[in-house]
Structure 1
Amino acid sequence: MNLLSLNCGGLGNPDTVRALCALVQREAPAMIFLCETKLCGREMRRVREKLEGYYGLEVDSMGRSGGLAFLWKKDIECIFVSISVHYIYFTVCEGDKNWRVTGFYGWPSVSERHLSWELLRVLKGQMDLPWIGDANRQSMLDRAMCNEPWLDMFSYATLHHLDREWSDHAPIKLILDKRSTEAVTKGGFKFEQIWLGEEGCEDAVQRRESAESNVRKRKKIVAKIGDLSRQEELYWRQRSRALWLKDGDRYTKFFHNKAGERKRKNFIGILIDDAGVERVGGEAVSKVANDYFVELFTTSNPINFEDVLNGLEGRVTDQMNGYLTADYTEDDIVEALNQMHSLKTPGPDGMNGLFFQSYWHLVGSGVVTTVLEILRGERSSAESAFTPDRLITDNILIAFEVFHHMKNARQLDGHMAIKLDMAKAYDRVE
């Protein structure tokens, strides 16, 4: 089910009505909330008749300002709750799900903003069911708000801002259900912060037991833990990325909601491939992303680098160059590890910085050996996506040196730089 909400900016123009009909036909919403129709009820009903298959309720405009309309498909059961010049309030009965929806249009004047909040507080007192509402106010334009029971009911709901066409407001489209074509995939293995406090965790690392075995043991261990509140808090804190709030604050519900919000925000349901075709679903989306980065990190074998570099004045002294080209050491790797945030961006194996920082005395020697082999070019080129003897940042450094030279040059004849499809140039590492 989809919901569409739009501040129309007036529906008195036939072209605007045609644009609205095209938008509704394209998005096929189950419910529509329109504000600032600037029409009386009779005029708005004529507009609704052009949107076939909808029931509706209208609020007259005050002169040529305001005006609301709420439309719903004829196969949906909507029960009227209350109405005013600022909102339309319904209960939606959808099988065993009963929830409420409010289309809200607040006072446009800043000096009257407090009246909008007071009215919302009154409406909140009537929210004994899961609730979703659209807000159109000067301080919160084109937004949707909901309470926690509604978010639990529609955990996969997503909000999209569509392109502006005739109004200065973006239509908002609320998709309630997860796409049927999306595969339900379980998240990959990640080293959990809560495991650190468990007896036997270090022994498991030392014995190099498989990740799958550790996950099974974790489930058995967690079942025996007496203090579940702290374990759950740490678990959801890591996923919420609310890293400014320290563990121990006993605010598991906050972490849980933050994690759910982050998951919905980061979910990628559609990607467009190089041919301009939309790819939907886990495997198709993953393939588009993988192909993009393979292309990005594959060399195009550029030539004539020396000709470009010969025209630049050197800025790196021999002493600086000696420092930059010195061999990497174990201390460099340890320093880099300690600068990593412990809970961010685990590797492909699910191990984050916290794992290596906690068990460096067990795994450090192996990590150092592997990293140094890669940095020194001792590993096969098939194991690395990078070109030997070249860094990703080479292009940025060259561009910086060119513009630095132009900025500080004193020649009277001057210099000129030409930007040739810079976005395209930076689509590749080179």
Structure 2
Amino acid sequence: MDQILFWNVRGAGGKTLKSDISDLVNMNKISILIICEPRVQSSPHLDDLFNLGFDKAEVVEANGFSGGIWVLWNSNVVHLEPFKSFPQAITMKVGNSGHQPWLLTAIYASTYSHIRNFLWDHLDFIHTIHNLLWLITGDFNEILSSSEKKGGSSLCRIAGFKRWVDRAAMIDMGFQGAAFTWTSNSVKERLDRCLCNDDWRLLFPEAKVHHLSRMSSDHCPLLTKLMPCCNMSRTNPPFRFHTMWMQHESYNDLVTDSWNSSSGDIISKSQMLASTLKKGYQDLRDREAAYWKQKSREKWVKDGDRNTKFLHLTTMIRRRRNKIDGLLNDTGLLCEDPMEMKAIAVNHFVNLFSAHEEIDSRFIIPLLFPILDQATISQLASLIKTEEIKANLFNIGGLKAPGSDGFPAQFFQKHWDLIGHDIVGLVLDAFRTGRIPSGLNHTLITLVPKCNSPQSMHLFRPISLCSTIYKVISKVIVARLRPLLSELISPNQVSYVPGRHISDNIMIAQEMLHKCKNSTGKKGFMIWKVDLSKAYDKLSWSFIEKVLHEIQLPDMMIKIIMSCVTSTSFQVVLNGDLSNSFSANRGIRQGDPLSPYLFVLCMEKLSHLICSAVEFKKWKPFRASQSGPLISHLFFVDDLMLFAEASESQARVLKGCMEEFCNLSGQSVSFDKSAVYCSPNTCRGEANLISKVFGSPITNDLGKYLGMPLIHSRITKFTYASLVDKVQNRLASWKSKHLSMAGRLTLVQAVTSSIPTYAMQTAKLPSTTCCQLDKLNRNFLWGDTAEKKKIHSLNWSNVCKPKSKGGLGLKRTADMNRAMLAKTSWRMVQRDDGLWCQMFEKKYLQRNSILDDHYTKHTGCSSTWNAVLYGAQLLRSSLCWRVGNGNLIKFWCDNWTGLGALSTFALSLDTINSEALVKDFWNNDDWNFQVLLNCLPTQIVDQISKISLSHSGDFSDKQIWQPTSNGSFSVRSAYNVAIDCDNDSDVAWKGMWCFNIPPKLKLFAWTVAHGRLLTNV
């Protein structure tokens, strides 16, 4: 196995360094050694290195204290020959026996950006003169994203390096070990890395990079293990159904015969079918594209464009990223043996799912759940219908990861006519007995890394893979519970409650922080951002049951819910292999559809505890404005923010509430991972006392809340740099090489519809950020490469039109941002009853409307409110009143005729009373035409005469969104308004996309229709 060691030694003349290099070479069996920044000439020192087993060298000498690269190798192990040398790079051709030749480039980039630009030009040249597999390792003196730097100036050196990586379509190989490779005082950066092209990654799919411990240099050594491809031996792999089997000509007969010939319940029949399918697996391997489509987890891939190499490569990269090479045991020793790693994982979860301390049996939290009416209880207890079962089965994503049985929902959906009767029988029996059948609730735990190259179990997120049939039972329960949540859950908790949005709490948190950081006077305020440790995993089963009884759910419902929770057994999936089975006596599963709803109901008891403390004047919350609602807490599942006046006594009250809840529920707070922010007018001594009480550090920056940065200062392009990084990672240029334009279009649509739109709901993105995102989308769509920038055959504004208008349906970021903010403004106009709306109305609007032309923006508004006003500008342009009884519509100021404000048509300004209502111009059962004709032109009065008021007064006035036929707001129609595009479809364009042909042919037809087909290229 070839192993390459790269190290920026910061001086090769020291005795300590020679000892360090000797240890590294001997411990890791290095066949290629690369040293940079030696600060000395090579001749007196190479002999010492040759004594370590190397006999060949290629050198770029240092120029004083700058530059210098030494490449040494053992010619008996690996064959290298010089390819190209440059002051900042050495490129060698590697020609080992057993695989095809490839290039290795060692980099030591200049610390000066203008000199580094010559390096990118040199690498471009190397890229154009060969078509070999390519590995690059070295110190690039630049980072690729803002997340690769901690501390220091926010001005990141990323532009030149990032552009070159995009041009060359290189793949970052990732790493194991420390996140940063260079440290200087309080600044840390990932300056050293390994890159490769796609073909090199395909040849060495198991290759990995280790950031070794820092030694006598301020840079980490980089160890690259090539690890040739080999099939992993698995002692106990789980069965997995593959969708490609469905395409085999004998598949349907095989399934039907197996199912009909098997006896027992659906669990037994599924096991027999799995055994039958495994035996015939070798005969069903001729459907490569369908196989890789499922394994890639790229949900956006559409039938018609196979993109097989892309799917193969993405799967390989995902597998390498998710593979666990070693785990730390209890003594801190890294274990790489598969059996030892499985034992470590099992022990971790056995301890985690075991209640070590007796939970306080007293249930002393005030009973604040509202009493359910008898009709609701009867509905909860009513018999389960076949239609419910079928609907919930078909609501499960067809290719969602299956559980221990290995069958995804797509299998059961396809064969509903064959096995639907068995499914219905099992589900009905479970609800009748209140018991989950034995084996159905067996769960596989897959480990999702929380960070790069985790080696400790607490750095993995356990996701439970439940069986599809169990999910049907769970989703039937959820369908009955979910409508009750808006009544049961206080407005401070917005997760999983119908009609509430995650953006609600983001806006409240931003506004409360704005209040905090601008506070003056004697009274200070604090925000405690609380981190619950393993919240799902530690929830007490007895606590869950007590909460369900307090809600007064029917006994049958409580019984089946508790069976869902307590009948579980587990196995860990580690690198595709199953561990031993184990059970639990506490916790709920991430991956069970029921779990988040149970968790939210249990967290409501903490809300009850807080509300009681507020009511009895123990907890002193604060307001965002003088007349606004008091805010004591915000919950989104296990994300907690607590608000109170800043004092030591208040800190004790808050901590006391948390400790009392934890004693009852089994939860625990990670106090050291939590953080507290105090307003600037809080004296330092008081803040330190607060921090001591909480056991949480004081911070000047609360970081992110629910994935959004909390704004502490002026918004700049760096505020949302992580957003650009995420999109760039998803649209990596190596993907463009292996996708047709139809595939690239689909990927851009998937990325832009998921990543940026979340931020767009509550923030106006800087124009620089919008331009960066558009540029990423544009370049990826047209397939720019290292060799040349592709011709963008159509203007981006036209590409971003709807398909029915001749575009491709992509969205310009700034316009989409405006449309998303218009949706938030629309919710205010519709009198959303959430806390966020009450807060904004009391703080900024008082008795005004967000749509009033005469509304004057307050000075010192928060960035969130400015964003809402920005959306309101778009909303105002297309809103109209639908006249009911005329009690709400201002006659002169509001648009209720479709002509805009009537004040613009007034015959005399003296006649305008801005507070006059439409009903004031109605006389008994008709318009008061005498008054109307005195103040408006005849043609306007004729238009008004076509509108009638509700005589009975039963119908109130209603604001409607004119661009849609039903008057309801939609983001799609708002986007069309933003780009000044009407909603009418062009029949020719719309018809072209309806043809049943592969997407690539549709795009070809689209190009031809625009007259942009390239010739002589």
The bucket for the TM-score relative to the shorter chain is 0.7 to 0.9
Structure 1 residue 15, shift from structure 2 partner: 4.3
Output the CA distance in 1 between the equivalents of 2:130 and 2:47.
32
CA offset digits 1:19-38 (Å, max 9, x no partner): 44443343332212222333
- Asked if residue 124 in structure 1 is aligned to residue 124 in structure 2, the reply is no
| Cα offsets for 1:70-114 (capped at 9, x unmatched) | 122353333233322111222333334343322123344445554
Matched, 1:247 2:303: yes
> Is the CA contact 1:233–1:250 (under 8 Å) kept in the aligned structure 2?
yes
Which region of structure 1 is more displaced relative to structure 2, 25-34 or 359-368? Answer: 359-368
Letter in 2 for 1:163: S
Query: Bigger shift: 400-409 or 233-242?
Result: 400-409
Paired residue type of 1:211: A
Residue among 377, 382, 385 paired with 2:435: 377
Which residue identity lines up with residue 377 of structure 1 in the other structure? R
The code of the aligned residue for 1:158 comes to K
Q: Which runs of 5+ in 1 are unaligned?
A: 224-230, 425-430
Q: Which amino acid aligns with 1:68?
A: I
Match of 1:300 in 2: 355
Q: 2:193 aligns with which of 106, 120, 143?
A: 143
Q: Tell me which residue corresponds to 2:273.
A: 210
Contact 2:207 2:228 in 1 (8 A): yes
CA distance in 2, matches of 1:320, 1:163: 64
Shift of residue 423, structure 1, vs aligned partner: 6.1
Is the contact made by 2:292 and 2:311 (CA closer than 8 Å) also made in structure 1? Answer: yes
Equivalences for residues 351-366 of structure 1 within 5 A: 351-366=407-422
Q: Give the 3-state SS of the residue equivalent to 1:210 in structure 2.
A: helix
Change (3 A) 1:186 1:92: farther
1:176 paired residue number: 226
Alignment correspondent of 2:82: 80
Q: Is residue 201 of structure 1 aligned with residue 251 of structure 2?
A: yes
DSSP-derived class of the 2:95 partner: strand
Distance of aligned partners of 1:114 and 1:258 in 2 relative to their CA distance in 1, 3 Å threshold: same
Q: Which of 289, 292, 313 is the equivalent residue of 2:366?
A: 313
Q: Please name the residue that 1:227 is paired with.
A: none
Determine the C-alpha separation between the residues in 1 that align with 2:429 and 2:228: 45
2:361 is paired with a residue whose SS is helix
RMSD: 4.1
Asked if the contact 1:341/1:353 (under 8 Å) is kept, the reply is yes
CA distance in 2, matches of 1:43, 1:422: 58
Flag the 1:395–1:204 CA change in 2: closer, same or farther, 3 A: same
State whether structure 2 residue 23 is matched by structure 1 residue 28. Answer: no
Q: Read off the aligned partner of 1:160 and give its amino acid letter.
A: H
Contact 2:6 2:138 in 1 (8 A): no
CA 1:287/1:370 → structure 2, altered by over 3 Å: closer, same or farther? farther
What does residue 887 of structure 2 align with?
A: none
**Structure 2 Cα separation of the partners of residues 389 and 15 of structure 1:** 53
Residue 240 of structure 2 corresponds to 190
Question: Structure 1 residues 192 and 120, CA, compared in 2 at 3 Å: closer, same or farther?
Answer: same
Report the CA distance between 1:252 and its aligned residue.
0.8
CA distance in 2, matches of 1:198, 1:11: 63
Q: Provide the secondary structure at the position in 2 that maps to 1:79.
A: strand
Q: Secondary structure at the match of 1:64?
A: coil
Amino acid at match of 1:66: G
Aligned residue type for 1:384: T
Q: Is the 8 A contact 2:103 2:134 kept in 1?
A: yes
| Structure 1 CA distance for aligned equivalents of residues 430 and 346 of structure 2 | 22
Q: How many residues align?
A: 413
Structure 2: which amino acid aligns with 1:52? L
Counterpart-to-counterpart distance in 2, 1:170 and 1:404: 51
Q: CA deviation at 1:371?
A: 5.5
Q: What is the rounded CA distance, in whole Å, between the counterparts of 2:111 and 2:193 in structure 1?
A: 15
CA distance in 2, matches of 1:212, 1:237: 24
Counting only pairs closer than 5 Å after superposition, residues 404-423 of structure 1 correspond to structure 2 as 405-406=609-610, 409=614, 410-411=617-618, 414=650, 415-417=653-655, 422=669
1:356 corresponds to which letter in structure 2?
A: F
Kept in 2, the 8 Å contact 1:2–1:28? The answer is: yes
**Which protein is bigger by CA-based radius of gyration?**
2
Secondary structure of the corresponding residue to residue 263 of structure 1? helix
Tell me the amino acid that sits aligned with residue 276 of structure 2: S
Deviations 1:303-359 (A, max 9, x none): 34333x41x234432339977x94694666655544443223222222123223322
Greater shift, 348-357 or 192-201, is seen at: 192-201
CA contact (8 A) 2:205 2:317 kept: no
Q: Unaligned regions of 5+ residues in structure 2, if any?
A: 145-190, 260-271, 439-562, 570-582, 590-594, 621-648, 660-667, 672-1017
Cα distance in 2 between the residues matched to 1:92 and 1:62: 27
Aligned mates of 2:122, 2:371 — CA distance in 1: 70
* Residue 362 of structure 1, CA deviation: 3.0
1:155-199 deviation line (CA, Å, top 9, x unaligned):
332223333445454432221125999636796432222233444
Percentage of matched positions with identical amino acids:
24
The answer to whether structure 1 residue 163 and structure 2 residue 164 are counterparts is: no
- Please give the secondary structure, in 1, of the residue aligned with 2:49: helix
Which residue type is aligned with residue 122 of structure 1?
A: F
Provide, for residues 272-328 of structure 1, a one-character-per-residue CA deviation record: whole Å limited to 9, x for no partner: 44455544344443344344334444x437434333x41x234432339977x9469
Superposed displacement of residue 233, structure 1: 1.7
CA distance, structure 2, for counterparts of residue 142 and residue 29 of structure 1: 18
Which residue pairs with 1:226 in the alignment?
none
The correspondence for 2:107, drawn from 104, 116, 119, is 104
Partners of 2:293 and 2:75 in 1: how far apart?
Answer: 44
Q: Which residue of 1 aligns with 2:53?
A: 53
- What secondary structure is seen at the aligned counterpart in 2 of 1:151? helix
SS of match in other structure, 2:33: strand
**Equivalent pair of 2:4/2:31 in contact (CA under 8 Å):** yes
Distance in structure 1 (CA, Å) of the matches to 2:427 and 2:607: 34
Paired with 1:359 and 1:81, the residues of 2 have a C-alpha distance of: 59
- TM-score (ref. length: structure 2): 0.36
Amino acid at match of 1:342: G
- Residue 211 of structure 1 aligns to a residue in which SS? helix
Distance in structure 2 (CA, Å) of the matches to 1:184 and 1:246? 32
Q: Which amino acid aligns with 1:174?
A: T
User: How far did residue 68 of structure 1 move?
Assistant: 0.9
SS where residue 132 of structure 1 aligns?
Answer: strand
What is the rounded CA distance, in whole Å, between the counterparts of 2:357 and 2:319 in structure 1? 40
Moved more, 359-368 or 118-127: 359-368
Aligned to 2:290: 234
* Counterpart selection for 1:90 from 89, 92, 96: 92
The one-letter amino acid of 1:171's match is P
Secondary structure at 1:351's aligned position in 2?
coil
Judging changes above 3 Å, is the alpha-carbon distance between structure 1 residues 191 and 378 closer, same or farther for their aligned structure 2 residues?
A: closer
Contact 1:53 1:74 in 2 (8 A): no
Q: Which amino acid aligns with 2:52?
A: E
Contact 1:40 1:59 survives alignment (8 Å)? no
Matched, 1:40 2:46: no
Secondary structure of the structure 1 residue equivalent to 2:201: helix
C-alpha spacing 1:200/1:78, structure 2 compared with 1 (3 Å): closer
